[in-house]
Amino acid sequence: MEKNNRTIVEDITLFGIGASPGIAIGASYVLDRKRIKPVERKISASEVSEEIKAFRDAVRVSKKQLEDVKQGVADRRLAEHLHIIDTHLLILEDQLLVDDSIALIESDLINAEWALKRTLDKFRIVFDAIEDEYLRDRRSDIDSVGERLLRNLIGADQQSLAELERKSIVVAHDLSPADTMQMDKKRVIGFITDVGGRTAHTAILARSLGIPAVVGLESATALVREGMPVIIDGTSGIVILNPSQATFKEYLEKKQLYEYLEQELLSYRELAAETLDGHSITLRGNVELAEEVDLALREGAKGVGLYRTEFLFMNRERIPDEEEQYLAYREVVERMAPHPVTIRTLDVGGDKLVTDIDLSDEANPALGLRAIRFSLQEGKLFNTQLRAILRASAHGQVRILFPMITGLAEIRSCKNLLEEVKAELAAEGYAFDADIQIGIMIETPSAVLIAELLAQEVDFLSVGTNDLIQYCLAIDRGNEHVAYLYEPLHPAVLRALQMVCRAGQSAGIEVGICGEMAAEPLYALVLLGLGFDELSMNAPYLPRVKRIIRQARRSEALELVTELLQFGTAPEVASCLQKEMQQRFPGIFPVQQIRKAVTDS
């Protein structure tokens, strides 16, 4: 196509991370939101007070901007996410951020921007070392707050999306949760960014608003011009610039089909997760904050299958005491009642998340002092957390989940400590559930191999597939050189999952899964056929997985698993599964979505 004597290249296709599902077609609005690059400048001793004042002023202005955003949120769907703005406000008040930056100005005689950059870099190192994708993506909150502070320090414009005047697809290097909260869906019909992750708060907000989004495109802002026609497929992570007539028509039809299926999805939220031949499976939510419980309930969760407690401990001056933990756990328990809440004890690695805890650097944190090993070593900290969890059990149904158990000795130590804590609380007159259920996470090959023995010791098993796949296949999926070998459908992984389910069935206890595989509708029939009793996932995926379960028969899932286990390689398993799911659910599993799910999960 030619226009104004210039050749326009059509159908430029970009591949990113599908952050919020749906298809948007429209003209681009390029937001000038490139990262500020602070410059180091040495200052004299007489300039220190002036730099500190500039830093404090920037903190004050940033707080005011966030308070204004909070006050201006009118969309009721975002009300439950206002805690994100509160989190950003807390980061601005964080002594580690403020005091460390000021200390650097004073000690190293450097300008405020550079002192802030050095402080933020320390925060980023901590988050980058976290293995859990969901927790690691919380780094984006630090980036958002840091970027806002830097802009205010140098007087850069804080362009607001609330001022957008026409329907547009927003294109930006990055967007903060505050940016997303200011989006008017009548004008912002989608957005794409160079950076970002699927579990970052900006992505979560986009899903709440129902705004299609693709992030992590790396070069979108370099390629997109103002007003350029753009198609976003937030499900597959595909973005098409300057679509041809044929592509435009193809995606218009896809958009209509997607909207029909989404409307249909609403009807599943209140229905039981039951197959056509009457087999029930329990769907629960993964949460880390009390505010997320309401969303999980709205999407049909029958309890919390994984309550991550790490956030209570991260990046703070002091370890949360028993009372603070108890109140936090109690709030989640009371909000989810009468459904059960599964509270996982602290699951930290070799990264220094809490300044009060002295952990030495480890050459290989994934195999080092982490999860239950850390808790058993830090007896006082573990005791405090168990006391808080037990006290919360007086307010609703609570289950305790111990992470990364590798042998009988560990679980027996946990049980002994738990009994000691129960005796303490009883002697002190506290109420708690004396018969509280305990379970373990199956995340290592050793736990799989002795699952039958472990199952005799606990009330339930829960598989953490992210770690289990990593340890089974000896793959660090954060390592770009071997990440392609991270294969959830690897025959070794499927056999490991089958062994765990059989161990639970032999012991007569429930077996659940709370890793990313549970949230992927493509795997729903596989997990059903393997024999899982519970699938726990982030709330938005609950109705999608339930739709698959309700349209299938358990007998068919069993046959499918039997067939898949005959293959010797992950590509063969994936090919068979793709073909099966496309035949059964042609509207739900377009080819590119399946390809994305197989490589990402």
Torsion of CA 215, 220, 226, 229, to 10 degrees: -80
Task: Report residue 273 as tokens.
Answer: 């997760």
> DSSP letters of 215-279?
E--SSHHHHPPTT-EEEEETTTTEEEES--HHHHHHHHHHHHHHHHHHHHHGGGTTS--B-TTS-
Task: Give the integer Cα–Cα distance in Å for 14 and 231.
Answer: 10
Question: What are the strands, taking DSSP E only, across 353-476?
Answer: 398-402, 437-442, 460-463
Contacts of 236 (CB under 8 A, 6+ apart): 18, 590, 592, 593, 596
Q: Which of 346, 322, 324 is nearest to 425 (CA)?
A: 322
Amino acid at residue number 389: I
Q: Which of 531, 164, 128 is nearest to 349 (CA)?
A: 128
How many CB atoms are closer than 10 A to CB 272?
A: 15
- What sections of 303-370 are H helices per DSSP? 322-336
Task: Give the integer Cα–Cα distance in Å for 302 and 487.
Answer: 29
Is 414 one of the annotated active-site residues of the chain? Answer: no
Task: Report residue 370 as tokens.
Answer: 């982490």
Buried b (16+ CB within 10 A) or exposed e, 155-174: eeeeeebeebeebbbbbbbb
Report CA Rg, the chain.
Answer: 25
Cα distances from 360 to residues 301, 350, 352, 374, 382, in angstroms, run 40, 8, 8, 12, 19
Is 501 one of the annotated active-site residues of the chain? Answer: no
Q: Could you tell me which residues are beta bridge partners of residue 344?
A: 308, 401
Task: Give the integer Cα–Cα distance in Å for 490 and 473.
Answer: 9
Task: Give the integer Cα–Cα distance in Å for 562 and 48.
Answer: 70
Q: Which one of 173, 201, 339, 395 is the catalytic residue?
A: 201
Q: Which of 525, 528, 529, 533 is nearest to 507 (CA)?
A: 533
Q: Which of 241, 394, 384, 242 is nearest to 322 (CA)?
A: 384
Point out the residues that are catalytic.
Answer: 201, 514
